[in-house]
């Protein structure tokens, strides 16, 4: 009957109103949760963007570091090459210095031998001078004897004339011998003087050459120190170049790893942006559903009110 039908409609409208209100409350809670989820996803998205920027900056810095390390390696290689040239030059200079010193030592030995020969020659001249002195003494005595013989021959008269001629020739020969001995003595004196000058000059040359030998020896030692220092420098430069190459290899591996991380972060950022968009769409749909639930609740309340008025107007409320 109509009363029963109206009662069912009223009950249905009440249930619809209750359900609509419950749905509205649930929709509002879900909308709030969706907003919170959307905010969280948005924060995650911003964090992913920051991570992507950080990874990009890190990658750029590592690449710059790799470039700088390559410059260091290149400079170290140039230093090593320059030092190698220095070592070769120093070794060549040291070799020349050694040859020069060996040659100077040979010359020094020859000069010393010449000095000894000059001294020996002077001694021989001294012996010759003594012999000449003996000859000169004999000549003087011979001259004196010839003079005495001439005097005795003159006393003998006609019988001593032949002997006087011989004695005179002997005297002349003695005078010539004395004159020659004096000339020889004078020449020996000059030669001895020149020999002494040569000996002094040789001694000075020996001293100067010894000083030169010492200077060359110091130069040779300096070359050896230069070579040692250059070799150590070359070793260090080579070590720097090797370490730099290892740094370059490590930096390249880091760049590869960073690029992989960057790709993952970019993918995560893209996925997060898609999730954020989907969450925003879901939040909008939940808002629309909450609004529809509220409208449905109002319609149910209006229906219940109309049913109540209908019951009162037709006497069906009892």
For residue 106, count other CB atoms closer than 10 A to its CB.
10
Domain boundaries, the chain: 2-314
The pLDDT score that the predictor gives to residue 46 is 78
What is residue 269's predicted lDDT score, i.e. its pLDDT?
67
- Residue recorded with tokens 């950080």: 54
Angle at 10 between CA 7 and CA 12, to 5 degrees: 110
Q: Whole-prediction pTM value?
A: 0.45
CA distance 170 to 148: 11
Q: What is the pLDDT of residue 173?
A: 83
Q: Are 182 and 140 in contact, with CB atoms under 8 Å apart? A: no
Q: Residue 20 — very low, low, confident or very high, per pLDDT cuts 50/70/90?
A: low
Place of tokens 């000069």: 111
Please report the pLDDT score of residue 170 as a whole number.
82
Name the band, by pLDDT with cuts 50, 70 and 90, for residue 24.
Answer: low
Three-class SS of residue 244? helix
Tokens of 248: 């370059």
Most confident among 49-63, 177-191, 194-208, 252-266 (mean pLDDT): 177-191
d(CA 229, CA 20): 95
- Taking domain 2-314, whether its CATH number is 1.10.287.950 is answered by yes
């Amino acid at each position: 009957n109509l009363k029963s039908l109206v009662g069912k409609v009223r009950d249905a409208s009440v249930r619809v109103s209750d359900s609509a209100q419950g749905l509205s409350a649930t929709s509002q809670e879900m909308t709030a949760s969706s907003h919170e989820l959307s905010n969280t996803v948005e924060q995650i998205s911003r964090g992913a963007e920051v991570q992507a920027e950080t990874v990009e900056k890190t990658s750029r810095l590592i690449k710059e570091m790799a470039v700088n390390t390559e410059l260091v390696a290149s400079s170290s290689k140039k230093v090593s090459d320059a030092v190698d040239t220095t070592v070769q030059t120093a070794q060549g200079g040291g070799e020349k210095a050694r040859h020069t010193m060996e040659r100077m030592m040979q010359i020094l030995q020859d000069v010393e031998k010449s000095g000894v020969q000059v001294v020996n020659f002077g001694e021989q001249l001294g012996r010759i001078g003594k012999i000449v002195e003996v000859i000169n003494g004999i000549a003087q005595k011979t001259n004196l004897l010839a003079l005495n013989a001439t005097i005795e021959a003159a006393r003998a008269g006609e019988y001593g004339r032949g002997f006087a001629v011989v004695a005179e020739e002997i005297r002349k020969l003695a005078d010539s011998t004395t004159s020659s001995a004096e000339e020889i003595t004078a020449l020996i004196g000059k030669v001895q003087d020149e020999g002494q000058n040569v000996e002094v000059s040789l001694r000075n040359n020996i001293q100067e050459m010894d000083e030169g030998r010492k200077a060359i020896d110091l130069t040779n030692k300096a070359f050896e120190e230069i070579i040692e220092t250059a070799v150590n420098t070359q070793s260090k430069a080579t070590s720097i170049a090797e370490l730099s190459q290892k740094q370059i290899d490590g930096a390249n591996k880091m760049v590869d790893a960073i690029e992989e991380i960057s790709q993952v972060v970019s993918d995560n950022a893209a996925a997060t942006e898609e999730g954020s968009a989907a969450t925003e769409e879901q939040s909008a749909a939940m808002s629309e559903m909450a609004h529809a639930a509220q409208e449905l609740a109002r319609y149910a309340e209006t229906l219940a009110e109309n049913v109540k008025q209908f019951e009162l107007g037709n006497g069906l409320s009892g």
